[in-house]
Amino acid sequence: MIERGAWYVVMQVILLGMLFFGPTGPLLLPRGVEGFANILKIFGQGFFFIGLVIALIAAIQLGKNLTPLPCPKADSQFVGRGLYKLVRHPIYFGVILIGFGWWLINLGGLTLIYFVALIFFFDIKSRKEEVWLVKAFPEYAEYQQRVRKLIPLIY
């Protein structure tokens, strides 16, 4: 299990735990703009919900290929349809939106640090995952050239 990237899963759980349950830190909002904070919370709830829907749809689209480990299963098949046409790692993209939404909801300084760390972590994890995916699926190298990695149209 270690050789399939189990430690990435452990690190992801720790980062998500810190994001959602860790100390939030000081509020990153200037005084006198509390009404603006309510607007940000509403947007945060929207990002959170959209991210949740994207992550769930992406997991469903993976079907029997879904695994918590970054290394693909031995009997897996390449998936390049649905959300996977827009971004190579739509589950990670969904979780990034969830994290951004969560930060907008609480606006904590430490929460922002956890969120940024999560983005860097997904970049590192997806690099290793893609090494395994290229080995498992010959068509993956061409797919990498056409489809962005973590954020559609951007990165």
Name the percent of the chain lying above pLDDT 70: 99
What the block records as the tokens of 103 is 């930060």
Domains of the chain: which residue ranges? 2-25+51-146
Mean pLDDT of the chain: 94
The helix-helix angle for 6-21 and 90-106 (nearest 10°) equals: 20
Q: What is the pLDDT of residue 1?
A: 54
DSSP assignment, residue 148?
-
**Averaged pLDDT for residues 117-142:** 96
**Averaged pLDDT for residues 20-44:** 89
pLDDT score of 61 more than 80: yes
Nearest to 78 by CA among 127, 143, 122, 128: 143
* pTM tops 0.85, yes or no: yes
Phi, psi of 24 (to 5 degrees): -85, -20
**CA atoms of 87 and 119, how far apart (whole Å):** 15
What the block records as the tokens of 83 is 């959300």
Query: pLDDT higher for 5 or 121?
Result: 121
As beta bridge partners, residue 108 has 27
Of 1.20.120.1630, 2.60.40.10, 3.30.565.10, 3.40.309.10, which CATH number belongs to 2-25+51-146? Answer: 1.20.120.1630
What the block records as the tokens of 11 is 């690190």
